Chains A and B, each alone.
Chain A
Amino acid sequence: MLKINKSLIVFIILFFTILATLIISLNLGTMSITPTEVWDTVIGNGTAQNELVLFDFRLPRMIIAILIGAGMAISGAILQSVTHNELADPGILGINAGAGFAVVLFIFFSEGSGTSVFLLPLAALIGATIAATLIYTISWKDGVSPIRLILVGIGINSAFSALIIVFQLKMDPTDFMQATVWLSGSISGTDWRYVLALLPWIVVFIPVVFYKARTLDTLHLGDETAKGLGTSVERERMFLLFIAVALAGASVAVGGAIAFLGLVIPHLARKLVGARHGVMLPTAALLGALLLLIADTVGRNMLAPSEIPVGLVVSVIGGSYFIYLLMKT
């Protein structure tokens, strides 16, 4: 009973922190807009310029940050539970690298023809799926042992990262820079189209994962125990892995390879509300959204007018906090 109350408090605090960050973030930027002006614009009395900046530039970007943050965090949480490995996340398993490689290939072969931004997400998704399929197939030997899965993932990650470098070095400097920024994880230049592209994935899959919380709980106990409790381990694991890949792929497609989010957030969530997936998953989704929102706000404003890719900010914030966490435990 106490636990549930505590989780509820955590949810409420996180929700309002996100809301507060959203409002602060709306005010900040190259063009500072005061809170009263924001309010005026929201209720429809704002200037045309403020409307443009808020609704067409800042708001979609923030919504994207929230969606990607939640998606990556849930993806990491699934992977960690399913592989019984605290080191698992889409970055370490090579799913991000697979998506990244597909995108780099795409930029490389479409050089000069003005890279179409619309096709990038599709390429990333295909890459992520290929990477995940490879990992799953190679680690399959009368079922998939969690440890084999992560070892194979690390191998696949290295292979794709190497391939990325090979093709990157063959590019001309402009393409090279574009690829570098995208690979660092960047959500600049998003608009409502991206939001619409990403939204269905998040809205469909995250509730499914919440629904599967009990299954994740049993899987987390270990294969033997889960089998004993009547869970069809392989089938459930495959299904959950598929969702993790879909969430990571869709997120990478829009935001690039934002590393480290999927690794840190589940740890934080477990620390806050414990390991039960029923409360841990929603907490992770909210935390991921909050972290990416803060990271993007920092990246936009710290060295303005030049932007730091949000992925780098996430790594610095997440990395530092995570190191602190490790010292405390």
Chain B
Amino acid sequence: MSATTSSKKTTQFISRPIIATFILIGGLGLLILSLGLSIMYGAADIQFDTIWQSLIAFDPTQSSHQIIRGLRIPRGLAAAMIGASLAVSGAIMQGMTRNALASPSIMGVTAGASFMMALALVLTPQASNLIMMLWAFLGAGLGTGIVFGVGSISKSGLTPVKLALAGTAATALLSAISSGLAIHFNIAKDISFWYAGGVAGVQWVHVQLLAPITVIGLIIAFLLANSITVLNLGDDVARGLGQQTATVKITGTLVVLLLTGASISISGTIGFIGLVIPHITRFLVGVNYRWIIPCAAILGALLLVLADTASRMVNPPFETPVGTVTALVGVPFFLYLARREGRGL
């Protein structure tokens, strides 16, 4: 322990802009490449020049063109956006709360949104995508509201441990009610696939809903980056440097709600990206959130696009829920991180 803490003191405040730049450029290239892969591979494999053809000379009579334009492209884009959103949400939460375990799933955001979606599946099974998304926002707000509400009402305020405890409690409570609904209304199997998370069946409608929210959310997140870096030094330090900590926290929380709510309403719960990617990103680029946030977005997008492609190859023609793929990919790295430093609560 003592050896690691002393070495950490020297590495704690390092920022690595060169590596970060490399990640941004290389990651973007890889992301485009993996989007290409994700469009090529699936239940029906498609040649690359066919994809190119479908983009420059769309021929509605060809089924492969239809698959590409109607199914594969929106799916790939949705995966990229959701991956970026979840990773950035996680990065914001971990930065603001200085809590290595913070992530949308731990803070009750995911459980809240899932709970509302379960409720929506019971009450309004035929609802439109937009309505479903509004339900998810409501739910994300509810989950976060409980967690932050508890934290702010209590006298000692929002300590990291308390926040995580409140999140765990809210998550358990809301998931229990969701499971109860699932069992009572006999929709366990419908809800379950959605719970496991996936971007199968995403259409342009979803992409159109998701794109503006993701773009706006990511821009605000990037604008917040400097404040989060300062906030990560601790509330007292941040206040000492003249920061309006409350404003930053509220804005950050709203961005998380926006990004996570939109993502979950489209894909269901995809765990682990929001927890692991920020860790990986910090490990690579250091502590400056100006670099962390864009790099986390790229890496998150890359992970989810690749995971989604893999989920189609595991057990064809059946799909494996992508949330399980991200977990199985993310766990080993997370375990490595835990062994390496284990900087917890």
A: which residues have CB within 8 A of B?
85-87, 92, 138-139, 141, 145, 147-148, 150-152, 154-156, 158-159, 161-163, 165-166, 168-169, 173, 176-177, 180-181, 184, 223, 259-260, 263-264, 303, 306, 308-309, 311-316, 318-320, 322-323, 326-329
12 example contacts (A-B, Cβ-Cβ < 8 A) are as follows A87-B165, A139-B342, A145-B342, A148-B338, A152-B335, A158-B330, A162-B324, A173-B189, A180-B182, A263-B172, A308-B183, A323-B150
A322 to B177, CA, bound (A): 16
Q: Is B120 an interface residue (CB 8 A)?
A: no
**Is the Cβ of A147 less than 8 Å from the Cβ of B188?**
no
Which residue from A154, A162, A180, A322 sits with its C-beta under 8 Å from B101?
A: A154
Q: Are A159 and B328 also in contact (CB < 8 A) when A86-B161, A139-B339, A166-B321 are?
A: yes
B: which residues have CB within 8 A of A?
1, 100-101, 146, 150-151, 153-156, 161-162, 164-166, 168-170, 172-173, 175-177, 179-180, 182-184, 188-189, 192-193, 195-196, 271-272, 320-321, 323-325, 327-328, 330-331, 334-335, 337-339, 342-345
Q: Are A85 and B192 also in contact (CB < 8 A) when A155-B335, A180-B182, A328-B154 are?
A: no
A-B pairs, top 9 by smallest CB distance, nearest first, are: A319-B173, A315-B176, A147-B344, A148-B342, A151-B338, A162-B327, A162-B324, A159-B331, A312-B176
**Is the Cβ of B342 less than 8 Å from the Cβ of A147?**
yes
B342 / chain A contacts, CB cutoff of 8 Å: 139, 145, 147-148, 151
A147 to B259, CA, bound (A): 30
Chain B nearest CB, measured from A297 CB (Å): 16
**Is the Cβ of A165 less than 8 Å from the Cβ of B1?**
no
A2 to B168, CA, bound (A): 34
**Is the Cβ of B172 less than 8 Å from the Cβ of A318?**
yes
Which residue from B173, B179, B188, B323 sits with its C-beta under 8 Å from A176?
A: B188
A312 / chain B contacts, CB cutoff of 8 Å: 176-177, 179-180, 183
**Is the Cβ of B327 less than 8 Å from the Cβ of A259?**
no
Q: Are A326 and B182 also in contact (CB < 8 A) when A148-B338, A176-B188 are?
A: no
A152 to B179, CA, bound (A): 26
**Is the Cβ of B331 less than 8 Å from the Cβ of A323?**
no
**Is the Cβ of B173 less than 8 Å from the Cβ of A323?**
yes
Chain B nearest CB, measured from A138 CB (Å): 5
A79 to B74, CA, bound (A): 46
**Is the Cβ of B154 less than 8 Å from the Cβ of A326?**
yes
Give the residue among B156, B172, B175 with the most A Cβ atoms within 10 A.
Answer: B172
**Is the Cβ of B331 less than 8 Å from the Cβ of A155?**
yes
Which residue from B154, B179, B324, B334 sits with its C-beta under 8 Å from A166?
A: B324
Which residue from A161, A169, A311 sits with its C-beta under 8 Å from B192?
A: A169
Give the residue among A139, A158, A176 with the most B Cβ atoms within 10 A.
Answer: A158
Contact residues of B: prevailing secondary structure: helix
**Is the Cβ of A87 less than 8 Å from the Cβ of B324?**
no
Chain A nearest CB, measured from B269 CB (Å): 10
Chain A: which residue is nearest B339 at the CB level?
A141
A264 to B344, CA, bound (A): 20
Chain B: which residue is nearest A92 at the CB level?
B168
Chain B nearest CB, measured from A103 CB (Å): 16
Chain A nearest CB, measured from B328 CB (Å): 6
Chain B nearest CB, measured from A164 CB (Å): 9
A163 to B324, CA, bound (A): 7
Seed contacts A155-B334, A161-B327, A318-B172; 20 additional CB < 8 Å A-B pairs: A92-B168, A138-B339, A147-B342, A148-B339, A148-B344, A156-B331, A159-B331, A162-B325, A166-B320, A177-B188, A180-B179, A180-B183, A181-B183, A223-B1, A303-B184, A312-B179, A316-B176, A316-B177, A327-B150, A329-B154
A152 / chain B contacts, CB cutoff of 8 Å: 335, 338-339
A86 / chain B contacts, CB cutoff of 8 Å: 161, 165
Chain A: which residue is nearest B153 at the CB level?
A327
**Is the Cβ of A180 less than 8 Å from the Cβ of B188?**
yes
**Is the Cβ of B338 less than 8 Å from the Cβ of A169?**
no
Which residue from B101, B150, B156, B321 sits with its C-beta under 8 Å from A169?
A: B321
**Is the Cβ of B164 less than 8 Å from the Cβ of A87?**
yes
Chain A: which residue is nearest B156 at the CB level?
A329
Which residue from B151, B162, B180, B192 sits with its C-beta under 8 Å from A168?
A: B192
**Is the Cβ of B324 less than 8 Å from the Cβ of A147?**
no
Chain A nearest CB, measured from B172 CB (Å): 5
**Is the Cβ of A316 less than 8 Å from the Cβ of B183?**
no
**Is the Cβ of A309 less than 8 Å from the Cβ of B183?**
yes
**Is the Cβ of A165 less than 8 Å from the Cβ of B150?**
no
A259 to B337, CA, bound (A): 26
A315 to B344, CA, bound (A): 25
A319 / chain B contacts, CB cutoff of 8 Å: 169-170, 172-173, 176
**Is the Cβ of B192 less than 8 Å from the Cβ of A165?**
yes
**Is the Cβ of A326 less than 8 Å from the Cβ of B176?**
no
A316 / chain B contacts, CB cutoff of 8 Å: 173, 176-177, 180
A141 / chain B contacts, CB cutoff of 8 Å: 339
**Is the Cβ of B324 less than 8 Å from the Cβ of A165?**
yes
A159 / chain B contacts, CB cutoff of 8 Å: 327-328, 331
Give the residue among B100, B192, B335 with the most A Cβ atoms within 10 A.
Answer: B335
**Is the Cβ of B176 less than 8 Å from the Cβ of A311?**
yes
**Is the Cβ of B165 less than 8 Å from the Cβ of A326?**
yes
**Is the Cβ of B188 less than 8 Å from the Cβ of A322?**
no
B146 / chain A contacts, CB cutoff of 8 Å: 323
A158 / chain B contacts, CB cutoff of 8 Å: 271-272, 327, 330-331, 334
**Is the Cβ of A326 less than 8 Å from the Cβ of B169?**
yes
Chain B nearest CB, measured from A128 CB (Å): 18
B325 / chain A contacts, CB cutoff of 8 Å: 162
Chain A nearest CB, measured from B155 CB (Å): 7
Which residue from A176, A259, A328 sits with its C-beta under 8 Å from B172?
A: A259
**Is the Cβ of B154 less than 8 Å from the Cβ of A323?**
no
Chain B nearest CB, measured from A302 CB (Å): 10
Q: Are A184 and B331 also in contact (CB < 8 A) when A315-B172, A323-B146, A327-B154 are?
A: no
A147 / chain B contacts, CB cutoff of 8 Å: 342-345
**Is the Cβ of B168 less than 8 Å from the Cβ of A87?**
yes
